[in-house]
Chain A
Amino acid sequence: MPKLARWYVKSAMIYLVLGAVLAALALSNAAPLPRGLLALRPLAWHLLTFGWATQLIFGVAYWMFPHLSKQAPRGNERVLWAAFWTLNAGLLLRAVGEPAVSLWPGALPPAILQAAAVLQVAAVWLFAAETWPRIKALAH
């Protein structure tokens, strides 16, 4: 398994654990929850769907999809590393900014959540653009 795939997969597993903890705390409807936990609900969903599931798919797709060529079998490595860093930076900024905006409106500059949005979308666009040509028949 190449290095970038390992980074994607291991990061995904960290988000799985964090997301599961937050889900256990914040997604229950068994009893009324304090405001601080309710503010974590969107983050719990996004840690599990984006940080875990999507990032795991990115790692495995990068590893296992058909190769492009002998010179650059998995496409442009710099772009794919950029997708990794933008995804994780965006998700970490979201982890700080989203609950804060809900609990203490105006306490943090809006640029934090705006940057989180732009970075996460950029990660998806970069990865999709770089993976698109690898979705092809296997060369035999």
Chain B
Amino acid sequence: MPLLSRIYIRTALVWLVVGSTLGGVILWSKASPVPGAWSWLAAHISLLTWGWLLQLTLGVAYWILPRFGAERPRSYLAVIAYLALNVAMLLAAFAGLLGRPWAVAAGGWLQLFALAAFCLHAWPRARRSAYGK
């Protein structure tokens, strides 16, 4: 497993743990109210959809899509996608909590940029493998 995939997948696991714990607090608060629990809802959703599900998918895709020999060409695009995705996700998760609606919008655009960068990296790799299948 290449270094960048390990970084993607470990980061995804961290956001899974953080996002699920926030979700656990929110669910607990449905039984006995926890002050401020519902203010974490946007962070819970953002961390688990973008930070966990999507990020894990991208990390595994970077690992297992067909390579060109031993190379994963234009891997810098996947690095840019990783950085942009995590900054964007943190903006989307926490900017609303801090009362910065412009940052939520900026996070949305940065997420789009991150995904475009990853797709540019991955597009030529979605091809016949070296085994001919």
Q: Residues on A close to B: CB < 8 A?
A: 49, 53-54, 57, 65-66, 94, 97-98, 101-102, 110-114, 116-118, 120-121, 124-125, 128, 131-132, 135-138
Contact = CB atoms under 8 A, between A and B. Distances in A.
Contacts of B2: 137
B6 A135 contact: yes
A73 B30 CA distance: 40
Given A124-B16, A125-B17, A117 B28 contact: yes
The dominant DSSP class at the B interface is helix
A123 to B, nearest CB: 8
B21 interface: yes
Given A49-B49, A121-B20, A113 B28 contact: yes
A137 B1 contact: yes
Given A114-B28, A120-B23, A131-B13, 17 more contacts: A49-B48, A53-B53, A65-B1, A101-B30, A102-B30, A110-B32, A113-B30, A113-B31, A114-B31, A117-B28, A118-B24, A118-B28, A120-B24, A135-B9, A136-B1, A137-B1, A137-B2
B92 interface: no
B13 A57 contact: no
Contacts of A113: 27-28, 30-31
B125 interface: no
Interface of B: 1-3, 6, 9-10, 13, 16-17, 20-21, 23-25, 27-28, 30-32, 48-49, 52-53, 56
A104 B77 CA distance: 52
Classify the secondary structure of A's interface with B: helix
Contacts of A120: 20, 23-24, 27
Contacts of A135: 1, 6, 9-10, 13
A98 B10 contact: no
A135 B63 CA distance: 11
A125 B23 CA distance: 13
Contacts of B24: 117-118, 120-121
Contact of A66 (B1, B3, B20, B56): B1
27 contacts: A49-B48, A54-B53, A66-B1, A98-B27, A110-B31, A110-B32, A113-B27, A114-B28, A114-B31, A117-B23, A117-B25, A118-B28, A120-B24, A121-B21, A121-B23, A121-B24, A124-B20, A124-B21, A125-B17, A128-B16, A132-B13, A135-B1, A135-B13, A136-B1, A136-B6, A137-B1, A138-B1
